[in-house]
Amino acid sequence: MPPIIWIDGTYYDRATGKVSVFDHGLLYGDGVFEGIRVYNRRVFRLPQHLDRLYASAKGVWLEVPLAKPVLHRLVEEAVGKSGLDEAYIRLLVTRGVGDLGLDPRKCPKPSVICIVDTIQLWPQDRYDKGLVALTAATPIHHRESLSPRIKSLNYLSHILAKVEGIAAGVDEVIMLDAQGYVAEASGMNLFAVTNGTLKTPPAYAGILRGVTRDAVIELAREATYGVEEVPLNRYDLYTADEMFLTGTAAEVVAVTKLDGRVIGHGQPGPITKELAKRFKALAIRGD
Ligand code: PMP
């Protein structure tokens, strides 16, 4: 049984799914990936995830060796084989096997890997009470260095931020960009709610444009809340009525304390709760 692992056309299990030590994905973090959710045996927003994967690959001069519709079918086939109703998919394209130098031209064939498993980031009480977060000193990548819009295999800055949070005993971290604007959490996008209006950093500022973020923006507009994609300072978060994070693995989760400041009333707010509920319904509906 799970996980199901697919590497370049062959299925493996946890014990046998292995990659070469000469794969530049391992040697240099040279590759791109997606985290995708399965609800009720249906893959949530697979076209959007595939679009982002192929765009990320283009951003790092990597050609995905399969056409998008073929990869779409393979992901669905792997989910079917897993037998899981609820699952988390990790889809990767690595530069492939090369020599010990950096040159990607020495890697003739990118590898495509698909893992179908399960995930749970936090126990239910974190969703009920909200997360305690701090602003990490580690910023996200500068957008003209490794663009944060590319979901690359280089997650060290996000991991280092996460380590700061772990060392401080909090649940999650907020990361700033190189200019000091609020960017995102370690693997999630963020929203502040003030006077019934949602505010979130714009993708062009240099953040990962989350599939969950986009879904929540649609849901908020449907529910007639205002949504503004604007640069945010930490002040905007500290003084918000509500704050929440969105991500494929986390879904929608409130932040009730940031850098020692209680956000709003210190509990998940009504708009956060409503959007979390609407997101669950959307995920189960699957559109
Ligand atoms: N930012 C980062 C850095 C992430 O890794 C993720 C998770 N993919 C997100 C935001 C949220 O994106 P999504 O809603 O597509 O999972």
Mapped onto helix, strand or coil, the DSSP state of residue 113 is strand
pLDDT tens digit sequence for 11-51:
999 999 999 999 999 999 999 999 999 999 999 999 999 99
Rounded distance from Cα 43 to ligand 1 centre (Å): 16
Dist. CA 100 → ligand 1 center (Å): 30
Ligand 1 atom at shortest distance from the alpha carbon of 185? 1
- Long-range contacts of range 259-264, CB-CB < 8 Å, 24 or more positions apart? 259/133, 259/134, 259/135, 259/234, 263/130, 263/237, 263/238, 264/240
- Single out the residue of 200, 114, 203, 96 nearest to residue 150, CA to CA: 203
Which candidate, 208, 209, 8, 155, places its Cα nearest to that of 94? 8
pLDDT at 205: 86
Pick the atom of ligand 1 nearest to 249's CA: 16
- Alpha-carbon span 115 to 88, nearest angstrom: 8
Mean pLDDT of 219-230: 98
Counting atoms of ligand 1 from 1, which one is nearest the CA of 246? 14
Q: Judge whether residue 2 has pLDDT over 80.
A: no
DSSP letter at 88 equals E
Q: pLDDT digits over 73-118, tens only?
A: 999 999 999 999 999 999 999 999 999 999 999 999 999 999 999 9
pLDDT over threshold 80, residue 129: yes
DSSP characters for 238-259?
HT-SEEEEEETTTEEEEEEEET
CB 175 within 8 A of CB 167: no
Ligand 1 pocket (Cβ < 6 Å) reads 35, 158, 184, 187-189, 208, 210-213, 246-248
For the chain, give the mean pLDDT. 97
| Ligand 1 atom at minimal distance to the Cα of residue 158 | 3
Nearest Cα to Cα of residue 272 among 248, 238, 241: 241
Q: How far is the CA of 248 from the centre of ligand 1 (A)?
A: 7
The phi-psi region of residue 271 (left if phi > 0; otherwise alpha if psi is between -120 and 50; otherwise beta) is: alpha
- How far does residue 149's CA lie from ligand 1's centre (Å)? 10
Cα separation, 89 vs 78, whole angstroms: 9
Atom of ligand 1 nearest to the CA of 189: 10
Asked whether residue 1 carries a pLDDT value surpassing 70, the answer given is no
> CA nearest 180: which of 237, 136, 145, 139?
139
Query: Which of 50, 146, 151 has most ligand 1 atoms within 8 Å of its beta carbon, as the pocket-test mutant?
Result: 151
| 279 Cα to the center of ligand 1, angstroms | 16
- Closest-CA residue to 177 (of 209, 153, 206, 210): 206
Contact 216, 279 (CB under 8 A): yes
The torsion defined by the Cα of 91, 97, 99 and 101, in degrees rounded to 10, comes to -20
* % of the chain exceeding 90 in pLDDT: 95
Pick from 100, 103, 93, 91: which is nearest to 27 by CA?
100
**Ligand 1 site-directed mutation target among 53, 189, 253, most atoms within 8 Å of CB:** 189
Catalytic residue numbers read 151
Q: Which two tokens stand for residue 27?
A: 């040697």
Q: What is the mean pLDDT of residues 267-273?
A: 98
Q: How many CB atoms lie within 10 A of CB 64?
A: 18
- 282 CA to middle of ligand 1, Å? 18
pLDDT at site 134: 98
Quote the pLDDT of residue 172: 98
Please name the residue whose Cα sits nearest to atom 3 of ligand 1.
Answer: 187
Domains and CATH numbers, the chain: 4-117 (3.30.470.10), 124-285 (3.20.10.10)
Write the burial class of residue 209 (CB in 10 Å: 0-12 exposed, 13-18 middle, 19+ buried): middle
Best residue for ligand 1 mutational test, from 151, 188, 218 (most atoms within 8 Å of Cβ)? 188
Neighbours of 71 (CB within 10 A): 20
